[in-house]
A and B are shown apart, each in its own frame.
Chain A
Amino acid sequence: MSSPSDVLIVGASVGGLTVAQALRRKGYTGRIRLVGEEPHPPYDRPPLSKEILTGAWPASRAQLNLDGLDADLILGVRAVRLDLSAWQVHLDNGRRLPYGTLVIATGLSPRRLPTQQRLDGVHTFRTLDDALALGRDLRNAERIAVIGAGVLGCELAAAARALGRDVTLIDPASVPMAGQLGDQLGTLMASLHRRHDVKLRTGAGVATLTHVRGRVTGVALTDGSAVAADLAIVAIGSTPAIGWLAGSGLRLYDGIECDAYGRAGPGVYAVGDVARPLGSVRLENRANATEQAVTVAATILGDGRPYTPVAYFWTEQYDAKIQVYGTITAGSRLRLIEGQLDEERFVALAETGGTVTAAIGWNHPCGARSARQHLMKVPGKPVGQE
């Protein structure tokens, strides 16, 4: 097994951290440096939109375990340039970090509305600081408009309802989470939110944010109607954080192009939300980040195998717990294998042209795991094409 003398990891969230942990687990004793833009030590993002936002957990509960890591954490600094020929990463504090092996795990940046710049009362949601800031503002707000009914928008709507706020959920698709669940299960998601008194404005595009004296007052929709709000949350997806790599020579298009081993360039690897493996798709989920990180760690140590992901995501909203292995493609048929849709506890398979593309558990995690065996290894749907 070959072993580099040092590994520099840019991105200190779960993807980058897991590379470091997997390297140590495989006996790597060389130097590991982990560079993170945020000032916080590595933490987990899924609880942010749930327990951290509602205040059920203190922020410290989202911290990830660093036992046995023996890595230099370089936090609160941003990588601003990659010089492939000099084998150096430039930081925003002027430092240049030479590397022998580089792992890029810089994740995503939330998309913003063109009109949201410099308005008070408008939030996007990605980081711990975003969660803490939104949590503070939610306590003083009455009417919340959540723009975007994907996984994040739905979870934020549920959290705002848990805090007793008046919530309107807005999305151009006809049902919430249409891109992730399809129309049939999206309809179930709509009734879940209605039952918890969320006002749904689906099938409605956002024209602009309305404001008075620099503070948001609501959302104007493309059908001419308006939603009054003293707080707006913009959850309309994310883009890969690759701006700092422009001109580096890496192949950049909807992420960092890499091969099935995560290799993106000489001595350079890509991991997690930012990585787009050739012949597959870029996945934005927690499980992919760790699995890809383990693959890349093995490749760095000369023991890599091609990574063939099975997409997996879960969401928790109110008392509902939904798990999806694989991808529910548009127009797929649902086949129930346990329970009934109207009982809101079931296991189902999504099928397209006779192929099972997803196993779904609705309040049925064990059933979803068992049903996973029906799944062929298929790439997920390209994100950004929902």
Chain B
Amino acid sequence: MKIIIDQDKCVGGGQCVMAAPEVFDQRDSDGVVELLDATPPADQQEAVRDAVLFCPAAAIRLEER
């Protein structure tokens, strides 16, 4: 799994951090998403898929292979 984020779309809702705190973080200054791990291990991937669904800005995309 590879995560692609669109920081320009991010609205700082923080749903991704609540869903997968080991994978996503927010910049202190403006709340925009930052990736801690673009290729998360298997035990994080369900949480990441939750984050994709719950993101209110549709700013997270996955490449699964």
- Interface of A toward B, CB cutoff 8 Å: 14, 18, 21-22, 25, 44, 46-47, 61, 64-65, 67, 286-287, 290-291, 294, 312, 314, 316, 321, 323, 361, 364-366, 368-369, 372
Pick 17 A–B contacts, CB within 8 A, sort by A: A25-B53, A46-B11, A46-B56, A286-B56, A287-B15, A291-B54, A294-B53, A314-B13, A314-B56, A321-B11, A321-B12, A323-B12, A366-B14, A366-B28, A368-B14, A369-B26, A372-B14
Which residues of the other chain, A, contact B49 by a CB distance below 8 angstroms?
25
Chain B 49-62: CB-based contact to A (< 8 A → 1; otherwise 0): 10001101110010
**Closest B residue, CB atoms, query A314:** B11
Chain B 10-49: CB-based contact to A (< 8 A → 1; otherwise 0): 0111110110000000111011000000000000000001
Which residues of the other chain, A, contact B53 by a CB distance below 8 angstroms?
18, 21-22, 25, 290, 294
Are A44 and B57 interface neighbours, CB within 8 A?
Answer: yes
Are A287 and B12 interface neighbours, CB within 8 A?
Answer: no
**Chain B contact residues (Cβ within 8 angstroms of A): what range?**
20 to 34
Which residues of the other chain, B, contact A25 by a CB distance below 8 angstroms?
49, 53
Which residues of the other chain, B, contact A65 by a CB distance below 8 angstroms?
58, 61
**Closest B residue, CB atoms, query A14:** B58
**Closest B residue, CB atoms, query A294:** B53
Which residues of the other chain, A, contact B57 by a CB distance below 8 angstroms?
44, 46
**Closest B residue, CB atoms, query A364:** B31
Give the CA-CA distance A46 to B12 in the complex, in Å: 13
Which residues of the other chain, B, contact A294 by a CB distance below 8 angstroms?
53-54
Are B58 and A366 interface neighbours, CB within 8 A?
Answer: no
Are A366 and B26 interface neighbours, CB within 8 A?
Answer: yes
Are B54 and A365 interface neighbours, CB within 8 A?
Answer: no
User: What is the CB-to-nearest-CB distance from A271 to chain B, in angstroms, rounded to a whole number?
Assistant: 13
Query: If A65-B61, A365-B31, A369-B26 touch, does A287 touch B56 (CB 8 Å cutoff)?
Result: yes
User: What is the CB-to-nearest-CB distance from A233 to chain B, in angstroms, rounded to a whole number?
Assistant: 23
Give the CA-CA distance A18 to B56 in the complex, in Å: 11
**Closest A residue, CB atoms, query B15:** A287
Known: A14-B58, A46-B56, A369-B18. 9 other contacts (CB 8 A): A61-B9, A287-B15, A287-B56, A314-B11, A323-B13, A364-B31, A366-B28, A369-B17, A369-B26
Which residues of the other chain, B, contact A369 by a CB distance below 8 angstroms?
13-14, 17-18, 26, 31
Give the CA-CA distance A337 to B50 in the complex, in Å: 30
Are A365 and B13 interface neighbours, CB within 8 A?
Answer: yes
Are A287 and B54 interface neighbours, CB within 8 A?
Answer: yes
Are A365 and B56 interface neighbours, CB within 8 A?
Answer: no
**Closest A residue, CB atoms, query B17:** A369
7 smallest beta-carbon distances between A and B, as pairs = A365-B31, A365-B12, A369-B14, A286-B56, A287-B56, A366-B26, A44-B58
Give the CA-CA distance A286 to B58 in the complex, in Å: 11
